[in-house]
Structure 1
Amino acid sequence: MVNLTEFQQLIETQQLSLGTLPKALQALFYDKKGNWNQAHEIVQNASDADSAWVHAYLHRKEGDLSNARYWYRRSNQLEFSGELNQEWEAITSYLLKKVK
């Protein structure tokens, strides 16, 4: 696959085949494009831990911290305390390494 910088460039140029990506990365793509609703729709019914982690991030971004905490627990990830863009990058980097 690609690294974080390359992934961000592919998002900007829209040269990314979403169908080949795991749902969690698809959701992060849509979030980066400014489409929170599409991102949320992708992960809201997924049962894997990676999607739960993205789901937590999305609710944190929305400002629904109670719901975000629930999804952090479901994902077995610690609640992120940094900036939202730092969390997006951390999750994306981790998931991209898993795809390789």
Structure 2
Amino acid sequence: MTNMTTFLSSLDRPTPPADLGHELRALWWAGRSEWSKAHAQVDSSSGRRAAWVHAYLHRWEGDIDNAHYWYRQAGRQLPDQSLDNEWHEITRSLLRELSPQL
């Protein structure tokens, strides 16, 4: 997985690409509106990236108190943007970490 275009086109497949880490797999499932499968990818993961994805998922779920907790763990504030925009922001950020030249 090297860029956003490739990531987005992979959403048509039945399963996420094998080379994705937990956080990007969670975002992949979220991109397919599969909240439970997305959450399962980061539920036991640690680190700020996983916390950011976890926060986003609880915001999407509507559990704002839980989302606040996870945003704090990620070192972030609850965003003032649409869920769709945040999904794109997180996905782009994590993909850039994998391929910094993008």
Normalised by the length of structure 2, the TM-score is 0.88
1:16-95 equivalent positions in 2, closer than 5 A: 16-18=16-18, 20-95=19-94
The sequence identity of aligned pairs, in percent, is: 38
Q: Give the TM-score taking structure 1 as reference length.
A: 0.90
The CA distance in 2 between the partners of 1:13 and 1:37, in whole Å, is 18
Determine which structure has the larger helix proportion and give its number: 1
Retained in 1: the 8 A contact 2:55–2:67? yes
Paired with 1:33 and 1:3, the residues of 2 have a C-alpha distance of: 18
Q: Relative to 1, partners in 2 of residues 1:15 and 1:36: Cα closer, same or farther, differing over 3 Å?
A: closer
1:6 equivalent in structure 2: 6
Q: Secondary structure at the match of 1:79?
A: coil
Unaligned runs of 5+ in 2: none
Structure 1 gaps of 5+ residues are none
- Structural RMSD (CA): 1.5
After TM superposition, the runs of 4+ consecutive aligned structure 1 residues lying more than 6 A away are: none
Q: Distance between the aligned counterparts of 2:49 and 2:38, measured in 1?
A: 13
- SS of match in other structure, 1:12: coil
SS of the counterpart of 2:11? helix
